[in-house]
Each structure stands twice: as structure tokens, then as C-alpha cells.
Structure 1
Amino acid sequence: MRPARRDDGPALAALSRPFVHAGALRERPLSLYLSRASDFLVAQAPDGTLEGCLGLREHPAAGVLYNFCVAAHRQGSGMGARLLHAALARARNRSLTTLFTATTGSGRLFLQNGFLPACPALAPAEWARSLDPARGARVLSRAL
């Protein structure tokens, strides 16, 4: 695990693309991955390929986890849990008190790690407004 760098932007976009096509992630432009690369933690294979990523966007007192994906061939290996634990540690180090995320899937990994269903009105307003109701995402939160 390591913090992403700006030059990881194209690889972050490529890693995310299958999840966008499957409807699990919202499409984001390459410019977002480039400008917000510092939000991301990445899991990198020995050959330099990115195999997982998770963004942590900071808002006053709270953070939002987003764009969580693990390459298909690495799913079930514990990589997602390692990324999530690294993001939790990063959030604590930045003195965030609460984390939010939205998921269209089961949210199992989040729920296993202390996240609970939450009212979007409790989340950072800018992020909550950006949620697309048509996607049917559930908002989860966890106190740190």
C-alpha cells in the first residue's frame, strides 16, 4: 500500500473502468484522478501495476471513502481489507471523527469493519448532494 501520485491518474482510471461498466462505480473523468490523486491509497503489484485503490476525501471533521476497487484477480485475497484498514489509519492520523461511504453492493466489508447505515443528511453536504438517487446507493458511516 502506498499513497497514489499524480502520475497514477491513468492507472486509477483504468483500474476503475470495469467497476464503472458494471455499475458499481460512478464514471469519473481522468482529470479527477489526476487532480485528486493524493486522496488515494493504492495497492501495487511487484511489476508496478495497480491492483486496488481507495479514495479518502476530507471534509470538515468527516471523511468520505470513494472509488473503492480491487482488480478481479485479487478479489478475495484480503487486499480490500488492507486498503480499508490503511484508509481508516489515514483518517485517524488526519483527526477525522467520522467516515462516510456509499455503496450499491452489499457493503459487507464496510459492515464487518464497523460501518453502519446512515442518513445522508448527516454526511458532508457537498458529497451528499452529489449522490445520484437513481443508483440506489446506501450510505454507511463509522465513527473513528
Structure 2
Amino acid sequence: MTAAGTCPAPLSVPLPTVPGVRPARREDAAELAALSGPFARSGALRERPVSLYAAHADEFLVVRASGGPVEGAVGLRVHPGGSGPVGVVYNFCVAGHRQGFGVGAGLLRAVLDRARDRSLDALFTATIGSGRLFLRHGFAPTAAHLAPPAWTRSLDPRRGARILARPL
């Protein structure tokens, strides 16, 4: 959505399918916390305890290399919206050694599919980085008042995050 409240048309950019993307399970919680730790220490993500990952495991998708650890993760939380439910994409991270190999794009494809399956009207996310991956795939900067209020109240204004949205 733009600041004026309109949504630009999503780009028709094909996203790669990444083998190993699956819903997270409670037993993945410690690995989700470990994967997210470096991003939290850098300020890119919020620090979350293992117990929170376990309690909200059903919101996460993960990528695990065959027989290896979790190498990427993304959360999707559903919120009521003005005309229908919307989603918030959060805790999106990919292990450093897997960045640049399509893991993040594959996770984004999977979370978009999950959002469509749940008949969400739009997705929102916040980023303190460039947001290039989101921007390449139909997200656009939007005003905070257009995002779910319960979520925007939890954003720390000192972090200077940009809010991005994508219609579905």
C-alpha cells in the first residue's frame, strides 16, 4: 500500500522454490532462536526467547538442509484488517552461508502461498535494512496507520524501521 492507501500491482517476478521449506514444529524452537540470534544482536531482529518460538511454531516456515540445521525462517501472523484479514511477515532470516542462494526468495514464495491459502488481503512487514527482496516482489513502502494497529504499536520507533506492504 502506498501512503495514500492504494496498493500497487504485485510484480510478476517468479520466486524460486527451495527444497526443504516446511512448517516449523515446536521442537525447532531452539534452532529458530539460534538462527535468529546473530540478527537480533545486530539489531535487525527483536530478541525472542526459545519459549516464544515454541509457543508460536505454527506461524513459522523453515528451511533445513538435508540432515542439517535450520538455515532460514520466516513467521506469518494473521491480524484482522479493515476489509479482511491481513498478515505480518516477521523474523525473516537466513543463515549467512546460505544468503545469495535463493533461500530467502524461496521462503518468501512459501509465505506468500501460505497467505493466499489463508485468504489474506495483504501482507505487511517492517525492515531496518534495504528491503530489496521485498521490494523486488511487490512490497512497497506504506504508512503505519494502514498496518495492523496491534503490530505497529509493538514497533520500536528508535529502530527506524520502514513498513512495507503487498496486496494479495
TM-score band, normalised by shorter chain: over 0.9
TM-score using structure 2 length: 0.84
Deviations along 1:64-114, one digit per CA (max 9) or x if unpaired, are 000000000000000000000100000000000010000000000000000
SS at match of 1:130: coil
The alignment partner of 2:39 has SS state of: helix
1:34 corresponds, among 49, 54, 62, to: 54
Q: How does 1:43-122 map to 2 (within 5 A)?
A: 43-60=63-80, 61-122=85-146
Q: Which of 22, 29, 34 is the equivalent residue of 1:14? A: 34
Any unmatched runs of 5+ in structure 1?
none
Q: Does 1:132 align with 2:152?
A: no
Question: Following superposition, which runs of at least 4 residues in structure 1 exceed 3 angstroms of deviation?
Answer: none
* Bigger Rg, which one: 2
State the 1:48 CA deviation: 3.4
Partners in 1 of 2:138 and 2:112 — Cα distance?
11
Name the SS of the counterpart of 2:52 in structure 1: helix
Percent identity, aligned pairs only, is 64
Partner of 1:123: 147
Structure ranking higher on relative contact order (CA contacts 8 Å, 6+ apart): 2
* Number of corresponding residues: 144
Q: Deviations over 1:9-61 (max 9, x none)?
A: 11100000010111111111222101001100000011131000000001121
Letter aligned with residue 102 of structure 2: G
- Partner-residue secondary structure (3-state), 1:47: coil
RMSD: 0.6
Counterpart of 2:11 in structure 1 is none
State TM-score, norm by structure 1: 0.98
Residue in 1 aligned with 2:7? none
